[in-house]
Chain A
Amino acid sequence: MPDGAADYRPQWVALTVIFWITTLPNRIGVFWAFFAGLMLDVVTGSLLGRHALSFSVMGYLTVELEQRIALFRAWQQAVSIWLILTVERLLSLWVLSATNQPTPALSYWTATFVSMLLWPWFAIVLRGIVRRLDLT
């Protein structure tokens, strides 16, 4: 991927975690989100626990809102996903600044919008896979 596109890259891991929590709410929850965040920390070489922290809060929000999100229309869903993702990024940024690491520029937030716009299609594709594999 070219360097210029780095800011527009959607938060794939976060989207995937949200999707799984909304599809299998009684099997996948906060702890799964925590481990996904931990693995993301290891993969990207960031401070251990940074994504784990933000992902656990994100997982919690998703678990709480999951039943409401299921009833929402597509655009309402997208907006609530955007809120959750923004909280995730906010916490992540907070950890960065609390540990005296260089904080990113304002373009840091564009990823949340890209993810929001991608969410409906992303959910449709993954739901198709879930149906085919009959996971529920």
Chain B
Amino acid sequence: MKPLFNRGPSAAVRMVIAVAFAFALIIADLHYRQLDSLRSGLAVTVYPLHFLAALPARIAQNLETQVASKTRLHAENDRLHRENLMLRARLQRFASLESENERLRNLLGSAFKVGERVLIAELLQVDLDPYRQQVLVDKGALSGVFVGQPVLDANAVMGQVVRTNPLTSTVLLITDARHSLPVKVNRNGLRSIAIGSGLVDQLNLLHVPKKADVRVGDLLVTSGLGGTYPPGYPVARITEVRIEAGQRFATVIAEPTARLDRSHEVLLVWSLPKLMEGAMTNSESAEPAALRSTLEP
């Protein structure tokens, strides 16, 4: 039975308190980034929830592999075999290229190294905020994941880690409207910035001059300028170049080559930013020496 007189503060007072608290939270989270520990603490408590929410998809997937027909498995096996053969053949060429590249870089005195450590993480099939392009992966700070870490899939760049919890981390995809990524056109090295559009299959290029040499079908790769992403990874392919009379720049639209909406496993990449920094600081001191050594026979 409801008591005739409520004890404690009235609903309006409670609401004012709660709203004030919420405002404090918003301001603290927005401007001071003070709440990451609170958030990750709470996130640990909701991890079972994420796990449960992802469970049906996971079970369905397991069932699918269980009941996959023998012929299909054979076909897949064949395909993978062929692919493996092809990749290995290509790898042989890369091995020689890599050693050549390293030799040339050694000549220049640059400390840049190509090798890198990766960790495979699985996407949790959980829908986060439907108006942001974010995904949740099942590796977190306990596995060494850090904020700003680049995330790739088998084809291309997917995004970067924006938040880590002990067991999970949130990845912001390159197509989110708040994400921008320094890229260059692979064919001629023209630099630009790819801004997410909020749609899963579209990126917009910023400030491309109207006379720039950009064509439909050009591959965009990361330029490595921001320091977050390693240079030279494929990002997107240009699908549309539009030149409008009223605009100061060309409108260039690209489609990500990563399968952002279908990828199931992602690669978390390590140690590239540090190597980049190392390369930059080292090259300042090493390059003049290298130049001199090449000038003096």
Identify which of A76-84, A99-107, A125-133 touches chain B.
A99-107
Partner of B127, one of A1, A39, A42, A50: A1
Task: List chain B residues, Cβ under 8 A from A45.
Answer: 128-129, 132, 134, 136, 163, 170
* A102 B131 Cβ-Cβ under 8 A: yes
Are A30 and B14 in contact, CB atoms less than 8 angstroms apart? yes
With both chains docked as a complex, state the minimum distance between the C-beta of A132 and any C-beta of chain B, in angstroms: 21
Which residues of the other chain, A, contact B18 by a CB distance below 8 angstroms? Answer: 30-31, 33-34, 52, 56, 59-60
The size of the chain B interface, using a CB distance under 8 A, is 42
Q: How far is the CA of A42 from the CA of B127 in the complex (A)?
A: 13
Which chain A residues in 16-53 approach chain B with CB under 8 Å?
Answer: 25-26, 29-31, 33-34, 37-39, 42-50, 52-53
B211 at the interface (CB under 8 A from A): no
Which of B3, B14, B30 is close to A47, meaning CB atoms less than 8 Å apart? B30
Q: How far is the CA of A79 from the CA of B3 in the complex (A)?
A: 28
Chain A residues bordering chain B, tally (CB within 8 A):
39
A30 contacts B11, CB within 8 Å?
yes
Provided the pairs A26-B3, A60-B12, A102-B178 are in contact, do residues A46 and B129 lie with their beta carbons within 8 angstroms?
yes
Which residue numbers of B lie inside 8 Å of A, CB to CB?
2-3, 6, 11-12, 14-15, 18-19, 21-26, 28-30, 35, 38-39, 42-43, 46, 49-50, 127-132, 134, 136, 163, 170, 176-178, 198, 200, 261
Is A60 in contact with B14, judged by CB distance below 8 angstroms? yes
- Cα(A9)–Cα(B177), bound, Å: 22
Contact B14 A29 (CB under 8 A): yes
**Are B22 and A34 neighbours in the complex by a CB distance under 8 Å?**
yes
Q: Is the pair A48, B127 in contact by a Cβ cutoff of 8 Å?
A: no
User: Which residue from chain B places its CB closest to the CB of A52 in the assembled complex?
Assistant: B22
Question: Is the beta-carbon distance between A48 and B29 smaller than 8 angstroms?
Answer: yes
Q: Does A108 contact B (CB under 8 A)?
A: yes
Contacts of A26 in B (CB 8 A): 2-3, 6
